[in-house]
């Protein structure tokens, strides 16, 4: 474990040292990345297959701090996305940095990328609160510098500001949380936290609220999601992939670790998490549907997916509070599985978006079109990832959702918690909307005719970018068809939280997982049957006439690419149905007169939290608090006076 | 589950589907005072299309050709999960959700193929299909939840294991009504969509397949009749208790035929809804299913 | 018996839901009439003693008033006042339906917490009654026309009637007759009011009533 972290840190510093030697630094970066991620994966996989890894304790000069690292199945499970996605996105990033031709500060991006990966692996392994918070802070700052890589553009600076404010609000909550726990328990070691947990009552609720806000601001479920669609789109694409696919999951890890401290889990936690998750799932995908910027769309879709994960966590909490270890295991396992699956397909989608953005020169969905013909490999991988994101079999997205449905509908919950079945309806709605959203995005971008010159001239990127994407796509399919190992690993991870007796109860969970093998096999059947029909079709058509003609346009003889259905029109029926929630703003000048010369249409979907609540609130605060500005006028004497007055006040108060 | 039963199920699944559009067509003809096409018309259509060559749009790519193939494959696997007169041999707890998502995959493939033609018509159809199906999805899942609560099983075999009118009649009516609405919407029938219309602007499913021809269209036609059969079988098993053995097949066939005739009656007696009204009816179906869940939870 | 009562109750609730999603005014009146008939049948099936003279009388009264007379009056009003045939909701149809669904869930949850007298025949009576009342209120507040407000009021009254059935064995005549009379008077008054408003203002929109505040 330490070896892996040191490889990654070495990579970070090498990329700084070698910044004047592009070839050497790229080679060094690739070697360090591969070595770091692969050495990191080995212990993770060993722990997930049941082995034990000895914890590490090293003294640290920081007060109350100790470098104590350990790997239990929960940590090991989170290492999988960190290293898998980290490796794929990192290799892709090398190609991306070359292809960006100096738009990006290469050495800095590399440095912070390594730092981000290394700090995340420390976050999940840390067993000491001080170490955890330090790694968390390094992770947040590295992510901030990645978001601000293109800091010349004003919208990037705005996004970076929003991100840093949010992440530090979250960290503030976490500081308070761990400070309280640490003082109660007398030690910052995680092993002492469980004993420090107060019994049910206001104190426990307060701690949960702190954890919910602190980790929630990282996870990005509603209403803490608003920074995500700002920050993720502006980062370099391989960094966005890691931010969206992995960094968000660190919040999930933190929340799960917090829950594992709690000897009792009140029912209300489960209800709150389930409700927040269901709301984020539906709202996230609805807002995704209203976006016209591919990376913003993907960011909103991440909100949907963390919503699904949060629902899983909520279900697990309900299971714990009702004393149903089986349901708890299924809920947490579903959340973990979806953590892995989402990280695979969402990172792939962001990488694809990066390849598209580089060849098109922009992230707009409407400007593309016909890319399947021009960039066949990238576009095909986009469809694979999209199908996975919609939760369709035979891809991996379905596996986690299936398990979650199984737990929600499963009927083991009683009393008030039995209303959890309605969350399944939200999940189904989100699934249907996701299908609409991704057919819209992929259809408008990759199918039909190109809507602009850039789209017509685009080409697939080089191998350094395509191969990592292909690896992720293959992983999506592999987990979808052979889901059992991943599911077993997730159950092992969930067992840490459910406090299941390792032997006896796991077998009953195994009974619940047994159908997953069939699900995978049937998924393979779909592919096999499709191959069979494809061959049959070829056989039927082998010596018949197969012609090509223009698309039928209702006898209109001169169709143009501009006549195609756009993404906005595709989304219109759903946007209209949910207008009350979305409140899209439309500026349109429809064509008028007999010989209309020009027409335009612009639609925007402002974020309900950021644009409708926080921005006006901050304006009010600014005007309301402007009198304080009078205190700051630049005269040294007055500042000294403030210090004096403050000191006197403190003295008066203390004595 | 013996081999013979599985074989019977498979044979029915492969051979019966194109009969249903025939029954619907005949019912509509009777209501319209016409003689109408023969019952076996769909078989003729499909065989004729299989024998034809193909014309493709210049815009299209492999996605256009893959759509019908993948869609039919997904529907076939979904069919393997659905109990007909015999229980399905491949059933397992939780297969109901796989069934729902396989239908989703079929729809996804069809929509992708439709968008590949680059025509506004196909885009419009795909857009409507996406919108309406995403609203029908919660109705289906809630109906499944209610059925699970009523029967205690998560497999289609158990959930649709025979009507229990004596236990929960009202709930059964609600679930049946909700699922019938979903059936009509999923299979693009009146009042949601008019399969017989001639104006592209008002179509949903038909307009997505405008540019398909030859064997591809045969796959699509066969697939949509298969989908109708699967839904009908589920509804029949939900509402009618099936006796075992050969009598079961007779009741099942009668039920499915009656359901097809019922669809025909609905089509003859109703006009299609305005597009803006379709979501309302689907939300009503969701409410019905939610109500059934509440009844089952009590 | 139990099964039939359950069917009737489910039907009642479903009609209220359908009412929230119906656009045409006369369609709404038809649905309310149908609900009246369903409710009229209910007293015959809900109690253990079955067909008593009293139950028959209530049933006949309900059917006559709510199934036949009131809808006739309302349809007459639609024809006479030449109201536009659409409902004109303040809250759209789909949101109303969704709120209706949420109301149903809330009603069931609330009914589970109410202290219900033992020996009750159908467990559905209380939640359906609560949900019907709330949906009636929703209809009253979310629609623009005075006529739809009458309809909402009627649905609300139907909910109260259901609640009345719950206690009707313990309380003699007064309650039922009171409810029926109440409705009748209400419709009567509302009918007159609609006539008056439309004569004075050439419109039956209640929001025009705000002009009266000066």
Condensed to tens digits (0 to 9), the pLDDT of residues A149-161 reads: 988 889 999 999 9
Distance from the Cα of A301 to chain B's closest Cα (Å) equals: 16
Our CA-based measurement puts residue C141 at a distance from the nearest CA of chain B, in whole angstroms, of 20
Of A402, A544, A571, nearest to B97 by CB-CB distance is A402
- Report the residue from A419, A422, A577 with minimal CB separation from C94: A577
Shortest Cα distance, chain B CAs vs residue A598, angstroms? 20
Q: Do B53 and A544 touch (CB under 8 A)?
A: yes
Q: Residue A565: its chain B contacts at CB < 8 A?
A: 115, 119-120, 122-124, 126-127
**Residues A129 and A181 sit within 8 Å (Cβ to Cβ):** yes
Predicted local distance difference test score (pLDDT) of residue C164: 77
Chain C positions touching A577 (Cβ under 8 A) are 94
Residue A126 DSSP symbol: B
For B148, the token pair is 């699970």
3-state SS, residue A587: strand
Lowest mean pLDDT: which of A267-276, A425-434, A634-643, B227-236?
A634-643
Q: Which two tokens stand for residue C66?
A: 């709510």
| Token code pair at residue A153 | 């553009």
Query: What's the pLDDT at C169?
Result: 63
- Between A563 and B34, the more confident residue is B34
Q: Using an 8 Å Cβ cutoff, are B181 and B266 in contact?
A: no
Select, from the ranges A148-152, B17-21, B154-158, B207-211, the one with the highest average predicted confidence (pLDDT): B17-21
Residues paired with residue A588 on neighbouring β-strands, in sequence order = A601
Task: Assess B285–A contact: CB distance below 8 Å, yes or no.
Answer: no
Find residues 278-297 of chain B whose CB sits inside 8 Å of chain C: 279-281, 283-284, 286-288, 290-291, 294-295, 297
The pair phi, psi for residue A474, each rounded to 5°, is -65, -35
The better pLDDT of the pair C112, B247 is held by B247
Q: What is the mean pLDDT of chain A?
A: 88
CA angle A576, A580, B288 (to 5 degrees): 80
Note the pLDDT tens digit of each residue in B113-131: 999 988 888 999 999 999 9
Mean pLDDT (whole number) for B183-196 = 89
What pLDDT shows up at residue C79? 77
**Closest partner CB to B283 (pick from C3, C94, C105):** C94
DSSP H or E stretch at residue A308: helix A294-321
Nearest CB among C10, C21, C100 relative to B174 is that of: C10
Mean pLDDT of A501-523: 75
Collapsing DSSP to helix, strand or coil, C49 comes out as coil
pLDDT band at B89 (very low <50, low <70, confident <90, very high): confident
Chains touching C, CB cut-off 8 Å, 3+ pairs: A, B
Give residue A455's pLDDT. Answer: 83
| Interval A89-116 mean pLDDT | 88
Is pLDDT above 50 for A322? Answer: yes
Angle, in degrees to the nearest 10, between helices A248-261 and A73-99: 170
Q: Which of A373, A443, A532 sits opposite B115 (nearest CB)?
A: A443
Name which of A236-245, A447-456, A462-471 the model is least confident about: A447-456
Q: Do B279 and C94 touch (CB under 8 A)?
A: yes
Q: How far apart are CA C193 and CA C187, in angstroms?
A: 10
Most C CBs within 10 Å, among B170, B176, B281, B297, to test the C interface? B170
Q: What pLDDT does A502 receive? A: 47
The question of ipTM being above 0.90 is answered as: yes
Determine which of A580, A581, A582, A583 to mutate to test the interface with C (most C C-beta atoms within 10 Å): A580
| pLDDT over 90 (residue A258) | yes
The pLDDT assigned to A440 comes to 95
What residues in B contact C23, CB-CB < 8 Å?
277
Cis peptide before C68 (omega within 30 of 0): no
| Residues A577, C105: C-beta atoms closer than 8 Å | no
DSSP lists the bridge partners of residue A68 as A57
Contact at CB, C94 and A422, closer than 8 angstroms: no
Does B280 contact C97 at a Cβ distance shorter than 8 Å?
yes
Mean pLDDT throughout A598-627? Answer: 83
Question: What's the rounded Cα separation, in Å, for the pair A608 and A612?
Answer: 5
**Quick one: how many helices (H) and strands (E) in chain B?**
12, 1
In terms of CA atoms, which chain C residue is nearest residue B289?
C101
Query: What per-residue confidence (pLDDT) applies to C177?
Result: 66
Nearest Cβ partner of B141 from A410, A424, A532? Answer: A424
Q: What is the pLDDT of residues A4-59, one digit of tens each?
A: 777 777 777 777 777 777 788 888 888 888 888 888 888 889 888 888 888 888 88
B115–A447 C-beta distance less than 8 A: yes
For residues A336 and A493, the answer to whether their CB atoms sit within 8 Å is yes
Q: In this model, does residue B220 exceed pLDDT 50?
A: yes
More confident site: C179 or A127: A127
Confidence band, pLDDT 50/70/90 cuts, at residue C183: low
Find the range with the poorest average confidence among A174-183, A329-338, B10-19, B163-172. B163-172
C108 inside 8 A of chain B by CB? yes
Looking at chain B, the whole-number percentage of residues with pLDDT higher than 90 is 57
DSSP-assigned letter for residue A602: E
pLDDT of amino acid C49 = 63
Chain B environment of A390 (Cβ under 8 Å): 104, 108
Backbone dihedral angles phi then psi of residue A225, each to the nearest 5 degrees: -90, -10
- Cβ of A515 and B95 within 8 Å? yes
For the cut 90, the answer to whether the pLDDT of residue C196 exceeds it is: no
Task: State the pLDDT at residue B2.
Answer: 75
Q: Do A327 and A319 contact (CB within 8 A), yes or no?
A: yes
Per-residue pLDDT band for C193 (boundaries 50, 70, 90) equals low
Stretch 438-467 of chain A: residues touching chain B, C-beta under 8 Å: 439-440, 442-444, 446-449
Quote the tokens at residue C184. Answer: 């009748």
Half-sphere exposure of B65 (CA within 13 A, CB side): 21
Beta strand B54-57 pairing with A546-549 = parallel
Beta strands A600-604 and A546-549 are unpaired
For the record, the structure tokens of C211 come out as 């002009």
Phi, psi of A69 (to 5 degrees): -120, 145
User: What's the pLDDT tens digit per position in B5-39?
Assistant: 889 889 999 999 999 999 999 999 999 999 989 99
User: How far does the CA of residue B278 sit from the closest CA of chain C (Å)?
Assistant: 10
State the average pLDDT over residues A608-613.
83
Residue of A399, A389, A401 whose CA lies nearest to A427 = A401
Of A97, A89, A95, A92, the residue nearest A116 (C-alpha): A89
Q: Which residue among A419, A422, A580 sits closest to C92, beta carbon to beta carbon? A: A580
């Amino acid at each position: 474990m330490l070896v892996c972290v040191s490889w990654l840190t070495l990579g970070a510093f090498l990329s700084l040292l070698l910044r004047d030697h592009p070839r050497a630094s790229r080679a060094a970066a690739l070697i360090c990345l591969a070595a770091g991620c692969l050495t990191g994966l080995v212990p993770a996989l060993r722990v997930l297959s049941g082995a034990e890894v000895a914890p590490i304790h090293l003294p640290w000069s920081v007060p109350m701090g100790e470098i104590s690292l350990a790997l239990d199945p929960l940590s090991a499970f989170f290492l999988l996305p960190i290293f898998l996605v980290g490796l794929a996105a990192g290799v892709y990033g090398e190609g991306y940095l070359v292809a960006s031709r100096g738009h990006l500060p290469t050495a800095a991006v590399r440095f912070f990328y390594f730092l981000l990966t290394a700090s995340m692996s420390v976050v999940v392994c840390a067993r000491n609160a001080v170490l955890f918070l330090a790694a968390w802070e390094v992770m947040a700052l590295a992510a901030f510098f990645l978001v601000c890589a293109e800091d010349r553009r004003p919208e990037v600076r705005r996004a970076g500001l929003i991100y840093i404010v949010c992440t530090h609000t979250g960290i503030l909550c976490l500081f308070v949380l761990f400070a309280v726990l640490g003082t109660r328990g007398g030690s910052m070691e995680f092993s002492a936290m469980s004993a420090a947990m107060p019994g049910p009552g206001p104190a426990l609720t307060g701690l949960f609220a702190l954890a919910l806000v602190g980790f929630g601001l990282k996870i990005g479920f509603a209403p803490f999601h608003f920074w995500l669609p700002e920050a993720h789109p502006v980062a370099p694409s391989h960094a966005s992939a890691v931010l969206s696919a992995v960094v968000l999951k660190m919040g999930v890890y933190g929340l799960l670790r917090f829950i594992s401290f709690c000897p009792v889990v009140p029912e209300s936690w489960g209800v709150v998490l389930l409700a927040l998750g269901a709301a984020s799932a539906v709202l996230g995908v609805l807002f995704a549907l209203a976006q016209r910027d591919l990376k913003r769309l993907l960011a909103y879709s991440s909100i949907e997916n963390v919503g699904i994960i949060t629902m899983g966590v909520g279900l697990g909490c309900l299971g714990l509070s009702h004393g149903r270890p089986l349901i708890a295991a299924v809920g947490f396992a579903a959340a973990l599985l979806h953590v892995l699956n989402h990280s695979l397909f969402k990172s792939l989608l962001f990488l694809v978006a990066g390849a598209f953005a580089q060849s098109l020169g922009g992230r707009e969905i409407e400007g593309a079109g016909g890319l399947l013909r021009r960039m066949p490999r990238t576009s095909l991988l986009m469809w694979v990832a999209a199908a996975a994101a919609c939760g369709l079999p035979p891809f991996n997205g379905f596996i986690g959702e299936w398990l979650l449905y199984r737990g929600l509908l499963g009927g083991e919950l009683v009393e008030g918690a039995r209303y959890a079945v309605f969350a399944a309806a939200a999940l189904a709605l989100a699934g249907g909307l996701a299908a609409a959203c991704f057919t819209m995005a992929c259809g408008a971008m990759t199918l039909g005719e190109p809507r602009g010159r850039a789209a017509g001239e685009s080409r697939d990127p080089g191998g350094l970018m395509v191969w990592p994407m292909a690896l992720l796509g293959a992983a999506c399919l592999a987990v979808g068809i052979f889901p059992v190992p991943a599911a077993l690993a997730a159950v092992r991870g969930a067992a840490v939280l459910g406090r299941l007796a390792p032997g006896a109860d796991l077998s009953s969970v195994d009974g619940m997982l047994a159908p997953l093998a069939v699900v995978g096999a049937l998924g393979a059947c779909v592919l096999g049957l499709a191959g069979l029909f494809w061959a049959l079709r070829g056989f039927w058509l082998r010596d018949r006439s197969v012609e090509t003609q223009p698309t039928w346009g209702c006898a209109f003889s001169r169709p143009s690419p501009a006549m195609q259905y756009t993404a906005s029109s595709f989304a219109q029926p759903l946007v209209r149905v949910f207008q009350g929630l979305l409140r899209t703003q439309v500026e349109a000048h429809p064509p008028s007169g007999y010989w209309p010369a020009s027409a335009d249409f612009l639609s925007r979907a402002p974020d309900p939290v950021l644009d409708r609540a926080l921005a006006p609130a901050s304006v009010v605060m600014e005007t309301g608090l402007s009198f304080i500005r009078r205190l700051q006028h630049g005269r040294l004497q007055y500042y000294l006076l403030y210090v004096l007055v403050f000191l006197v006040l403190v003295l008066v108060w203390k004595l | 589950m013996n081999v013979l039963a599985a074989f019977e199920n498979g044979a029915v699944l492969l051979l019966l589907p194109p009969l249903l559009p025939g029954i619907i067509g005949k019912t509509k003809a009777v209501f319209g005072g016409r003689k109408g096409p023969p019952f076996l018309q769909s078989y003729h259509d499909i065989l004729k299309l299989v024998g034809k060559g193909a014309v493709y749009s210049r815009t299209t790519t492999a996605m256009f050709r893959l759509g019908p193939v993948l869609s039919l494959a997904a529907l076939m696997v979904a069919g393997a999960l659905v109990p007909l007169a015999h229980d399905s041999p491949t059933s397992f707890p939780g297969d109901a959700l796989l069934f729902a998502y396989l239908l989703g995959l079929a729809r996804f493939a069809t929509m992708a193929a439709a968008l590949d033609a680059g025509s506004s018509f196909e885009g419009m159809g795909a857009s409507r299909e996406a919108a309406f199906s995403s609203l029908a999805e919660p109705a289906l899942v809630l109906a499944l939840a209610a059925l699970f609560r009523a029967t205690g099983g998560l497999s289609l075999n158990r959930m649709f294991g025979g009507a229990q009118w004596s236990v929960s009649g009202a709930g059964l009516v609600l679930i049946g009504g909700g699922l019938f609405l979903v059936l009509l919407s999923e299979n693009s029938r009146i009042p949601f969509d008019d399969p017989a219309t001639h104006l592209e602007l008002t179509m949903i499913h038909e307009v997505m397949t405008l540019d398909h021809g030859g064997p591809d269209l045969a796959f699509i036609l066969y697939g949509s009749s298969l989908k109708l059969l699967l839904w009908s079988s589920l509804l029949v098993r939900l509402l009618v208790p099936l006796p075992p053995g050969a009598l079961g097949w007779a009741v099942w066939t009668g039920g499915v035929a009656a359901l097809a005739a019922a669809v025909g009656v609905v089509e003859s007696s109703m006009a299609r809804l305005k597009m803006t009204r379709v979501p309302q009816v689907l939300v009503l179906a969701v409410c019905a299913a939610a109500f059934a869940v509440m009844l089952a939870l009590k | 018996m139990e099964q039939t009562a359950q069917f009737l109750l489910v039907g009642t609730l479903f009609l209220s839901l359908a009412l929230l999603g119906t656009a045409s005014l006369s369609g709404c009146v038809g649905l309310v009439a149908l609900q009246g008939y369903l409710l009229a049948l209910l007293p015959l099936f809900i109690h253990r003693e079955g067909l008593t003279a009293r139950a028959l009388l209530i049933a006949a009264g309900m059917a006559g008033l709510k199934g036949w007379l009131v809808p006739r009056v309302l349809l007459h009003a639609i024809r006479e006042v030449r109201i536009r045939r659409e409902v004109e909701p303040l809250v759209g149809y789909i949101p109303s339906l969704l709120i209706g669904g949420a109301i149903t869930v809330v009603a069931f949850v609330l009914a589970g917490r109410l202290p219900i007298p033992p020996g009750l025949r159908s467990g559905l009576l209380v939640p359906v009654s609560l949900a019907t009342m709330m949906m009636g209120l929703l209809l009253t507040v979310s629609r623009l026309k005075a006529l739809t407000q009458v309809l909402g009021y009627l649905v609300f009254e139907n909910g109260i009637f259901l609640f009345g059935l719950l206690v009707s064995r313990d309380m003699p005549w007064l309650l039922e007759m009171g409810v029926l009379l109440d409705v009748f008077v209400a419709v009567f008054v509302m009918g007159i009011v609609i006539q008056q408003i439309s004569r004075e203002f050439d419109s039956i929109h209640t929001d025009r009533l705000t002009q009266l505040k000066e």
